[in-house]
Structure 1
Amino acid sequence: MGIFKNLRQAFHLFQEMDLGQIIELNKKVDLSAAMKELSKLDEKQMQGLLKMLNSSQTKKELPEINPDFYELSDKLTLEQQALQLKVRNFMEEEVNPIVNDYWLRDEFPYELIPKMGELGLAGVTYDGYGCPNLPFLMEGILAMEMARVDASIATFFGVQSGLTMGSIYMCGSEDQKQEWLPAMNKMQKIGAFGLTEPEVGSGAAGGLTTTCKLTADGWVLNGQKKWIGNATFADVVVIWAKDEADGEVKGFLVRKENPGFQVEKIKGKMALRIVQNGLITLTNCVVEEKDRLPLANSFKNTANVLRMTRAGVAWMAVGCARGAYENALVYTQNRKQFGKPIASFQLIQNHLVEMISNLTAMQTLVFRLSELQDLGQLKDEHASLAKVFCTLRTRDIVRGAREVMGGNGILLEHNVARFVADAEAIYSYEGTKEINTLIVGRSITGFSAFV
């Protein structure tokens, strides 16, 4: 083997060396011995040697990066595939070049809003009002594509398109729909969704402390809402409050100019730093009757909105995991240690296979989840199971992506550190792992273990 190694080295060097350099090389490599061994080869052995030498000069052809290992995208129509590609191109061309800078500065790229509006995709599944009226499956696909590049932008879109527009679409009057939905589809108006409170997260179903009271001047709202995405620049915020008269939860469209409405930006976040979360304080905030959502008269109506959008959060988890996996795979194919790409090492391949296994299971699950939603068969426990499983597995995948990058994994420039941090926020919002687990547990056992 030693003589063939020397021969191979000599062969490569000969191609670019003059006679003097070859003489110098002979002092280091036993060319006579190499030629003597070469002369002993028969025709078949010589052909094998030439093949080996030629292959060593040819750059290895690597397989295409394909996170969709089971080719689920083949189930989409050509039009749906084209829309998926359109959103992917937008995220890669408009968002990817700037996202790390904005994430680091804890700021939002407002210049993207009109560009996103030109896509016309907000209110993905709604019929009328300028909305696309696409299947729920496509809503999930688009959420995944956005989160594949940045979970913050996907969250911004989800709050706008799902939670806020969804509340108006499902619980609003025709006048409210006409006023807000077309403008929100084009991103000319921005919305936010105010449910969570400083001391009330998982217990929102029965424990809201924000109150509403009907007076001669309209509805008077008092209380606070926390972690409200888009709140610092939203034109309208859907506020859920408990009616002092009957104890039921009601919904209101609170405009940013309403007296008694104040927003403070939440700072110091380690995740979803581009999302502008706000602490909203309502102090005798008067809302006219025309801005009350007439079909929002109990928490069941709130829950319907959450059920509709929770599937999208599971898809976002898939997108976050997919982005981390893709970046990690490309990195390992190009990062060299001990003279060759680290993707050629067994332990690295083990990490990558675990990642693509989890990712494939997640994608298969959410694909079926959206199919159930399109069939009108989606239940709370279906969405909750997807939220639990996908956010847990996303944690595993981003951890593996960071690990195969070694120390470089903590640098934003390698596009995995951001996914590692953002996965923690996706893990918690729209129902913690524990709450969603109990929803599924109640379904399969028949016993409620919430209290």
Structure 2
Amino acid sequence: MPRKANSEPDFFGYAELLSDAERAELAEIRDYLQREIAPIANAAWERAEFPPEAIGKFAKLRLAGYSYPEFGDGKQRSPLFPGFLSIELNRVDPSLAVFAGVHNNLAMGSIYGGGDQAQRDRWMPQLIGMDKIGAFALTEPEGGSDVAGGMRTTARRDGDEWVLDGAKRWIGNGTFADVIVVWARDVADNQVKGFVVGHDSPGVTATKIEGKVALRTVQNADIVLDGARVPEADRLQNIDSFRDTAKVLARTRGGVAWQALGVALRAYELAREYAVGREQFGKPIGGFQMIQDLLVKMLGNVTAMFGMVVRLNQLTAEGKAGADQAALAKAFTTTRMREVVAWARELFGGNGIVLDYEVAKFFADAEAIYSFEGSREMNTLIVGKSITGLSAFT
């Protein structure tokens, strides 16, 4: 009697590290996302428009509160839970997962980690309820990988206010976010500081970046700051240098590794489902050796990615993970993800370029995930310096 097929992409059972209650909660979230988000995702991606109804749908899940229990539902979950939640978001739609990640991790993480208690109390409840949406403005038109030392956006103290001048690029949620965390170099001490800037503040202009072929639903913006005034009360009080900014980025790089896993996992799922259902030469293509080779290589990458992100998460929770571990995880997982989505698209043949079969979206979106939060090359140099003690940065 033939053995029953194992369709589980978590082949080594990493989800068993979660509690029964957490797995049940994730199952409910998966069901909700399939009902409420999946039906609107592809059309939004094709139009390159953000579906505004998604905000209310995400707000009902209280997604923004899972990492900040004192401002959310007060329920303590394991450190692994947000990572598995990221998998569920990304297996439905990477673009909408990026929307949530920018809001939850970059914007809220900056305010939570860089603000004082008064600032947390002021902004976190509104952001957790998604009454206000956040964005994170670090990258500049002429500064991506070198933004730490080459930031051109400036902040000048003027009494009880700061005057911001400069430009930011690739700012997710930037066209409609209510609050934007802007990073600027203080002209007085040459140190990078963080500011919470209202989207509609005088001197702030956001323009949508058109023509993207990846993460099309994400509303990336060019933002110009022309004498924008920010009260001292809106300067993040616990940010004194780019080193403090880097702490936020180290956490989010780990988040991108989970995102890469979610994308690769879904591409593998789609490919496996297609392989057992698509017939050629009188039998399912999954019965051919070359197709099985592709599937096993995909599953191997997914399983290796699981091992790395789970361990990184555990080390982070124990306070033992540094920027070099996060950099290795980001570089490794996004590279493996890129392989998986390419193999998945290959398996689909011509159908792999049609949005109806979904894999085309994951294939395209992977390119953006591969590049943001530090390119593979930059993260490689971070790890290279760690393991040799020698800097290869030029």
Residue 352 of structure 1 pairs with residue 295 of structure 2: yes
SS in 1 for 2:106: helix
Check the 8 A contact 1:125/1:133 in 2, yes or no: no
Does 2:67 align with 1:125? yes
For 1:294 and 1:347, the matched residues in 2 are separated by 57
Amino acid aligned to 2:207: E
Aligned to 1:110: 52
Query: 1:121 Cα shift?
Result: 2.5
Pair 1:144–1:179, CA change in 2 (3 A): same
Q: Kindly tell me: are residues 123 and 447 of structure 1, through their superposed partners in 2, closer, same or farther at Cα, counting changes over 3 Å? A: farther
Cα deviations across residues 361-393 of structure 1 (Å, max 9, x unaligned)?
A: 011111111111111111111111110110000
Q: Which amino acid aligns with 1:86?
A: E
Tell whether the 8 Å contact from 1:241 to 1:249 is kept in structure 2 after alignment. yes
**2:249 aligned partner, one-letter code:** L
Q: Is the 1:114–1:186 contact (alpha carbons within 8 Å) kept by the matching residues of 2?
A: no
Alignment partners' CA distance in 1, 2:63 and 2:38 = 19
Q: What does 1:210-289 align with in structure 2 at a 5 Å threshold?
A: 210-216=153-159, 218-289=161-232
**Cα distance in structure 1, aligned partners of 2:321 and 2:46:** 38
**Matched residue SS, 2:63:** coil
Matched, 1:417 2:360: yes
The one-letter amino acid of 2:177's match is A
The 5 Å alignment of 1:118-157 reads 118-130=60-72, 133-157=76-100
8 Å CA contact retained: 1:123, 1:166: no
Q: Please say if residues 22 and 77 of structure 2, whose CA atoms lie closer than 8 Å, have aligned partners that are also in contact.
A: no
Q: Output the TM-score relative to the length of structure 2.
A: 0.97
**For 1:100-153, what per-residue CA distance to the aligned partner results, in whole angstroms no more than 9, with x for missing partners?**
111000001110111211111214322422265533311111111111121111
Cα distance, 1:74 vs structure 2: 1.1
The corresponding residue for 1:94 is 36
SS at match of 1:222: strand
Counterpart pick for 1:388 among 328, 331, 335 = 331
The amino acid that maps onto 1:287 is V
Distance 2:255 2:65 in 1: 12
Equivalent residue in structure 1 for 2:5, among 51, 63, 67: 63
Q: Which residue does the alignment assign to 1:182? A: 125
The separation in 2 between residues aligned to 1:275 and 1:240, in whole angstroms, is 21
How far apart are the structure 1 equivalents of 2:141 and 2:120?
30
Distance change (3 Å), C-alpha of 1:227 and 1:239? same
Residue 435 of structure 1 corresponds to 378
8 Å contact from structure 2 (residues 66, 72) kept in 1: no
User: Contact 1:365–1:386 at 8 Å: present in 2 too?
Assistant: yes
Which whole-Å CA distance do the structure 2 matches of 1:79 and 1:72 have between them?
15
Count of aligned residue pairs for this structure pair: 393
Is the CA contact (8 Å cut-off) linking 1:123 and 1:165 kept in structure 2? no
Residues 355, 400 of structure 1: 8 Å contact kept: yes
Structure 2 Cα separation of the partners of residues 441 and 259 of structure 1: 44
Tell me by how many angstroms 1:87 deviates.
2.2
Give the equivalent residue in structure 1 for 2:235: 292
Distance 1:396 1:181 in 2: 38
Q: What do the CA deviations read for 1:60-113 (whole angstroms, capped 9, x no partner)?
A: 885242000001111110111112212211221112222111100000111011
Query: 1:447 aligns to what SS in structure 2?
Result: coil
Letter aligned with residue 203 of structure 1: D
Asked if structure 2 preserves the Cα contact closer than 8 Å seen for 1:171 and 1:301, the reply is yes
- Give percent identity, aligned residues only: 50
TM-align CA RMSD: 1.4
Task: List gaps (5 residues or longer) in structure 1.
Answer: 1-54
- Determine the structure 2 residue equivalent to 1:402: 345
Instruction: Give the whole-Å Cα distance in 2 for the aligned partners of 1:81 and 1:69.
Output: 16
* Offset, 1:183: 1.3
| TM superposition shift of 1:173 | 2.1
Find the aligned partners of 1:257 and 1:75 in 2 and give their Cα distance: 45
Q: TM-score scaled by structure 1? A: 0.85
